[in-house]
Amino acid sequence: MAASLDDDLELDNQDYYSLLNVRKEATQDELKASYRRLCMLYHPDKHRDPELKQQAEQLFNQVHQAYEVLSDPQSRAIYDIFGKKGLEVEGWEVVERKRTPAEIREEYERLQRDRDERRLQQRTNPKGTISVGVDATDLFDRYDEDFEEMPGGGLPHVEINKMHISQSIEAPLTNKDTAVLSGSLSTHNGTGGGNINVVVRRVTSAKGWGEVRSHASAWKHARTVEYILKGCFLTAQCGVQFSPRGMRPSCSLMTARHLDHNTMGYLQWRWGPNSAMTTSLVRDTKTTHCTLALQLGVLNSYLMMSYQYKFQDEDQTKVKGSLKTGWFGTVVEYGAERKISRHSVLSATVSMGIPQGVTLKIRLSRASQTYLFPIHLTDQLLPSAVFYATVGPLLLYVAVHRLIVIPYTRAQKREDLELQRISSATDIAKKKQEAESAVSMRLYNPHHRVFLLPGLIILNAWYGKFVTDTSQKQERAQVIDVTVPLQCMVKDSKLCLTEASKVGLPGFYDPCVGEEKSLKLLYQFRGVLHQVLSADCEALRIPKQSHRIDAES
C-alpha cells in the first residue's frame, strides 16, 4: 500500500484502516459511523479512574488521528499511495488540493527528487571484480601417454597462474554530471601491469548522454549515446592511443532497434587495430534468453549461438548453453546459475573446445562485487575431465547446501527473528498495554456488554500462532485471548473484520513477531455452536452456515 521513502524498509504496525476496522474502500459514512462508535467507547470523560482516563485518552487520540487523515480526500490519497511516511514529506502544504491520485504521485516524485538532489553528494556506487586463474592441467594430463612426469613428487601440481583485480566508484558532480574512477591490476605467469581510468559522463537530454574517458596507459575516448526514434538508439565512440610507436586512432559505431516486445537487433562496426563488423539478435522473455551473433573481422570471425532457460522458482535457477565457432576453433559451454542468498548468485560453467581444452569457470556475484575462478583442467578434450568438471561442482554444491547453507540459513532466520523480537519489545509492550486498556474500558462501560444479549455470542476468541501439525509439537503456541474486544465489535448479530492485519484492531497486539498468525473463534448463533479459523489478513464475516459444528462431532 505504501512505498517507503528510503531504500530500507521501516516497520510500522499501525494501520489507520485496521484501527477503525473499515475497508480500504470505505465511504465517508462508514468512516464516520466507525469513528463515532469508537469515540463513544474511548472518550476520556467517560472514565473516572485516573489510569483508565489516561489510557482512554491515548486510544482516543489514535482513533482521532486515523479519522483526521482518512476523512480528508487529499490526505487519504497520499496515505493510500505512500503510507504515513508520505504525509511527513515537506512541501505537501503548498500543493494544490483536489488533485487526482496520478497527480499526487507525480508531485510526490518531484518532492522526492528535490530531496535526492540534497543527498547527491553523499552517494557512490562501488563495483569490483576479482579473478583468480587456476592451472590444474596436471590432474589429467599426467595420465596421457606423452606426459613426462616431473621429478620431485607423485602428487598433481596445481597452481595459480594469473590474477586480475579491478575496482570502480562513481561520484555525482551535479544532477547531470557523474565522474567515475576505476583501476585494475593484472598478472599472468610472473608478469603484470595495471591502469587507472577516469571517466566524466554528462546527461545531455532525456534521450542521450556523452562521456570522456582517459587512463594512464595513454588512451582517450569520447562516447555519445543518442536515441534516434522510439525503440532505436545509436552509440558512437572514438579513441586515440599514444605510444612510443606513434598515434593509433580507433572508432566504433553501434545501432540497436526493438524488433518486437522481447527482441532486440544490434549492428556494430569497429575500426582500428581489431576492425570487425558484428550483427546480433537477442530475444529475452520471462522464461528464456536467446542470442545469435555473427562477426566478420580481419583477425577474428565467428558464429555464436546461446540459449538460457529461466526456472520460475524462488532461487531464480537458470541453465544455459552456447556454441561458438570461428577461426580460433570451436568452443561449447554449458552451465547453471542459482541465487544462494538475498544478494548472492553462484554459477558454474564448463567450457570445452579445440584447441582450448576443458575449463571449469566458477562465478560468485554478491551485490556489486564479482569473484571469478577459471580452473583450466586440461589442454586436450578428455571425457574424464568433462565428466569431473560437470559432476564435481554439482555434488559439492548439493553437499554444501544441505550440510552448511540450509542449517546456517535456518539459524540466521531464528537469530534475526529473536533480534526483531528484542528490538521491538518496547513496541510490543506498549501495544499490549493499549490492548489491555481497551479490554478494561469495554468491560467497564455498561453500554457495550452486548454479549449478554441473544443472537451472535462470541464464546471464545484467540489470536496468534497455532500449532496444528503433529510434527511440530515441540513448537509452543503463542496466542492471546481477544474474546472481549471481538464481542464488543458485534453489531446487529453480525461481526465483520476487513482484509487487514488484526494487529491494528483495538484490543489486539502481536504475540509472535515475524510469524504467521491466525484468529480462532468459537461462537454461538441462535443456540448453535460455530467455529472458524481465519488467517491474519483475511476478511472475516460471521455468522456463516459453513462454520457450524455438527451435533455428532
* Contact partners, residue 451, CB within 8 Å, separation at least 6: 457, 458, 487, 490
pLDDT surpasses 70 at 9: no
pLDDT surpasses 60 at 276: yes
Q: What is the mean pLDDT of residues 54-82?
A: 82
pLDDT surpasses 80 at 121: no
Q: What is the pLDDT of residue 140?
A: 79
CA–CA separation, 293 vs 220, rounded Å? 29
- Please tell me which residue, 100 or 419, carries the higher pLDDT value: 419
Q: What is the pLDDT of residue 322?
A: 95
For 327-369, write each residue's pLDDT tens digit. Answer: 888 999 999 999 887 788 999 999 999 888 899 999 999 878 8
Q: What is the mean pLDDT of residues 28-41?
A: 84
Helix (H) or strand (E) holding 256: strand 246-258
pLDDT surpasses 90 at 294: yes
pLDDT surpasses 60 at 55: yes
- Please tell me which residue, 93 or 436, carries the higher pLDDT value: 436
pLDDT surpasses 70 at 424: no
Q: What is the mean pLDDT of residues 166-180?
A: 84
Q: What is the pLDDT of residue 236?
A: 84
pLDDT surpasses 60 at 449: no
Q: How far is CA 62 from CA 104, 280, 344, in A?
A: 25, 61, 42
User: What percentage of the chain carries pLDDT values higher than 70?
Assistant: 76
Maximum CA extent, the chain: 102
Q: How far is CA 501 from CA 125, 246, 409, in A?
A: 37, 72, 27
Q: What is the mean pLDDT of residues 282-300?
A: 92
CA–CA separation, 14 vs 509, rounded Å? 10
Q: What is the pLDDT of residue 467?
A: 67
CA–CA separation, 408 vs 392, rounded Å? 23
For 220-274, write each residue's pLDDT tens digit. Answer: 555 555 555 567 888 888 877 776 777 778 888 999 998 888 999 999 998 887 8
Poorest-pLDDT segment among 78-92, 177-191, 379-393, 420-434: 78-92
- Please tell me which residue, 94 or 26, carries the higher pLDDT value: 26
Q: What is the mean pLDDT of residues 403-423?
A: 82
- What average pLDDT does the chain have? 78
Q: What is the pLDDT of residue 24?
A: 80
Q: What angle do CA 223, 229, 234 make, to 5 degrees?
A: 20
Q: What is the pLDDT of residue 348?
A: 94
Q: What is the mean pLDDT of residues 190-211?
A: 81
Phi, psi (degrees; rounded to nearest 5) at 472: -115, 35
